[in-house]
Structures are given as C-alpha cells and as structure tokens.
Amino acid sequence: MKDVLKDFRDVSGEHLDRLTAKGVSRRNFLKFCTGMAIAMGLPAGMGSQIAEAVATQKRPPVLWLSAQECTGCTESLLRANHPTLEKLILELISLEYHETLLVGSGKQAEEWREKSMRENKGKYILVVDGSIPVKDNGIYCKIGGKTAMSLLVEMAADAAAVIAIGSCSSWGGVPSADPNPTGASPAHEVLKNKGIKTPVVNIPGCPPNPYNFLSTVLYFVTFKKLPELDEKSRPKFAYGRIIHENCERRPHFDAGRFALQFGDEGHRKGYCLYKLGCKGPETFANCPVQLFNDVGSGAWPVGTGHPCFGCTEKGVGFTVPLHSPARPKYITPPSLFTEVFPGKEGVSPGTKAMAAGVAGAAIGAAGAALVSGLGKKDDVTKDKGE
C-alpha cells in the first residue's frame, strides 16, 4: 500500500495541471484512475500507471463516426450526472470530429475531419456508433455525400484502433432487426469484408455504459494495446460474466420466487423477473455492478423492475420477443451463490452479499463507487425498504 501511495505522489504533468485548473481536484482524478483500474480487473496499484499516462501524454485523438443510430450512445457518454466526470470525459480524449457535437457543419466539418486524419495518421482512435447499411451499396446512410460504408473503410484504414460503441455498431442492433431493410451490419464485419485489418473492439449496449468505453480508451492509452477480448471482440473485464451471475435478484431465482406480472405482489417485493422475460441468464455484461448515471444502487434495468432485454447480445436483443423466457445457456452452479433467507421480502441479505462480493462483483462495485467520485454507494437493501 505504501508503494501505491508513493506512486500516486509522483503523478504530475501538464494535463493534470490543466484538469485541476478546471476544477477537477487531484484527489478526484486519482480516485477516478484507481476506479478505472479496478473496473478493468487490474490491481489497484495500476491506477497510478493510468494516472501517469493520462497526466503526461498527449490526449488521444478521437474521431467519431455516426451511422444508423439514435444518438443514445453519445447521450450516455455525456449525460453523466456528476460534473467532475463530465469534465473528465471531455478532457481525457481529444474529440476531433463528432457530427453531433461539432460547432461547424457541412464542408467545414468534412475538411476538419480530413485534416485531423492526415495529421494523426496511424495514431487516432476511430469510434463508430450506429450500424452500417451495406444493401444497395450502402446508399441508406450518407454523410457529406459519402456512404457510411465508404467513410468507415476510409477512416478505419488509418486508425490505430476502432471502438464500435453501442449494439448497432457492435452487432447490428435495432436497425438489423428482421427484416433488416438496409442490410444493417456491424463495423467489424464490414471492415473484415473489405480487408481492413485495424483491430476492432466492441462495446455493445443500448446504450452502452460510458465507463466501459472510457476504461477501454484509458487501457489503450496506458498500455498501448487493447484489453483482452472475448470471442465477440468485447473487453473481458466488462463482458466476461452473464448478468444472471451478479444480479441482486438471483437468490430469488434460486429459491423459485418470481414476479408473474408487472405490479403483482412478487414484482413489488423485488422477486426475480425471469418469468417476465428477463434475458439476464443469456446475456453477458457488467450492468448489475457498473450501474448507470452515477446515482447509486438499483440504477440498471432489472434494478428498476424491468427485465433485462439482452441488448449486449447478438441473437437476443431486438431479436427474441421482449417478454418470452430466456434460454439459459450458461448454467452457473447454485453453490457459488449465497442462500436466500426464507420468508424475507425484497432483496435479501443473501442478495446483498452476492452483489457485494461473489463472483467478482465486488471488483466492479468498488470500481463503480470510485469511478463515480460520489464516494458512497447506497446500501442495496435500503432502496427495498429492508
């Protein structure tokens, strides 16, 4: 621990000075970097390495291409509740081109994109949100007179890495739902078919969690490579476990206690949502531990009483009917989980222990608390009236 603290004392740099001048305290910055390290499953001591990289290196240039999308991915990144985080997001990367956020437009914007691509050739990160229509030579989505398909190929060819943010660019998302009239395709598939070899990492979600995006960028900046990916090119630190494993309602599932209708007694008591169509048992994501919007426990779909609809998983979200039962593929033995306390209502102490400590949930929860900068996460049981 002493070494970790010493490492943090050594962190300094022009970028850190700029952040502190803008009201981001050094303490919050270091907490943020430690939280990011923990959220990525790295030892807490790596936080100082991330902080050093962020404080001293040139901000990574990021060009953002939007195709068939709803702008939810951008909203998710910018609508963080905590002002410190909002500043950090915009200060950690150099956002060179983003159609929604650029002040300029039309010819001016396109010229700026081309200039930035030339000046940062081989160094910039290309972020893509939205699916790419490939039917009829891609005519269903055009930007500045070019198809999204040709822009993706052009911009990815000179990028250091491509981050496909959101379900649409990761696996097709809403626009690819049957009958997929535009031939909506994920970025990695289009690039593979065009022979572009730039590495692609997928951050699916509708919307995706902004911390998963930021963690990936910070990992790349610090270690000059992408984090370990699964077979669907998703970072393992965020998509390595199914939602069902870390869900606070899991003990109710194991005990056979289900909500059968919205608003019924089981629903009001916080029982498992499997019978309402929850796709948690077949969906990989860290939603139950990373949470959304920096507002503490329960801020994720199942936490608010709605079944998970499997947005991060190709073949589940926008494909399987919303309220049809999940098809559990990955059975995790009940012995891994704490028991539910019979007769107790709401989210049980067993649930609380699981959300806090079992199967790596603690890592994500601690990371979320640190990352949010709020300093304090609510007690899981408090919200349920226990």
* Minimum distance from residue 50 beta carbon to ligand SF4 (Å): 31
* Minimum distance from residue 249 beta carbon to ligand SF4 (Å): 4
| φ, ψ (nearest 5 deg) of residue 338 | -70, 150
Which residue's C-beta sits nearest to ligand SF4? 280
Q: Is 68 helix (H, G, I), strand (E, B) or coil?
A: strand
In terms of CB distance, is 29 or 284 closer to ligand SF4?
Answer: 284
Q: Is 50 helix (H, G, I), strand (E, B) or coil?
A: helix
Token readout for 15 is 């970028």
In terms of CB distance, is 276 or 366 closer to ligand SF4?
Answer: 276
Residues that bind ligand SF4 (CB under 6 A): 243-244, 247, 249-250, 253, 272-274, 278, 280-281, 302, 308
Distance CA(326)–CA(106), nearest Å, equals 45
DSSP 173: T
In terms of CB distance, is 164 or 380 closer to ligand SF4?
Answer: 380
| Sign of the four-CA dihedral 276, 277, 280, 282 | positive
* Minimum distance from residue 95 beta carbon to ligand SF4 (Å): 35
Distance CA(164)–CA(174), nearest Å, equals 15
In terms of CB distance, is 129 or 282 closer to ligand SF4?
Answer: 282
In terms of CB distance, is 15 or 249 closer to ligand SF4?
Answer: 249
* Minimum distance from residue 253 beta carbon to ligand SF4 (Å): 4
In terms of CB distance, is 252 or 314 closer to ligand SF4?
Answer: 252
* Minimum distance from residue 297 beta carbon to ligand SF4 (Å): 14
How much helix, strand and coil, in percent to the nearest 5, is found in the chain?
45, 10, 45
Token readout for 119 is 């000046």
* Minimum distance from residue 301 beta carbon to ligand SF4 (Å): 9
- Dump strand ranges (E) for the chain: 61-66, 94-98, 125-129, 132-133, 142-143, 146-147, 161-165, 184-185, 200-203
